Amino acid sequence: MSLQITGKVIEILPLQSGTSKNGEWKKQEFILEIPGQYPKQVCVVQWGDAIDKFGIKNGETITASIDIQSREYNGRWYTDVKAWKVDRGGAGTEDGPPMASGEPWPEPAGDDEDDGLPF
């Protein structure tokens, strides 16, 4: 199953790092605002080398491929939305939204077709 989420980066939270039994780790969370009649904000996390590789910037529109994972700790459940890939082109960019049904944009009319326009 492939999950994707498209929105505008509205905040980048401070980098967090530490050491665990598996060695050094670092993570950074960012807030993605999903457009719609009632916009929603989602906190997405990126780990390790992905932080530099993705180069997320405030104000840009991205599509993130994500995994959702929950874990239990001391009787409480915690859920992470982890980005494993980020795209800036294509669907959901500032150039305009994708077709609602996922269909490609229509092809322009050819020169041999009379569309009634003078140019």
Residue 34 contacts residue 41 (beta carbons within 8 Å): yes
| pLDDT value for 98 | 40
Mean pLDDT, rounded, for 85-93: 67
Q: Partners of 76 in the beta sheet?
A: 73
- Percent of the chain scoring above 70 in pLDDT: 73
| pLDDT value for 116 | 57
Mean pLDDT, rounded, for 25-51: 94
Q: Is the backbone of residue 2 left (phi > 0), alpha (psi -120 to 50) or beta? A: beta
Write down the domain spans for the chain.
3-87
Mean pLDDT, rounded, for 96-100: 39
Report pLDDT digits (tens) over 11-22: 999 999 999 888
Q: Is the pLDDT of residue 119 over 50?
A: no
CATH of the domain spanning 3-87: 2.40.50.140
Q: In the numeric block, which tokens belong to residue 36?
A: 């719609």
Band of residue 99 on the pLDDT scale cut at 50, 70, 90: very low
3-state secondary structure 54-98: HCCCCCCEEEEEEEEEEEEECCEEEEEEEEEEEECCCCCCCCCCC
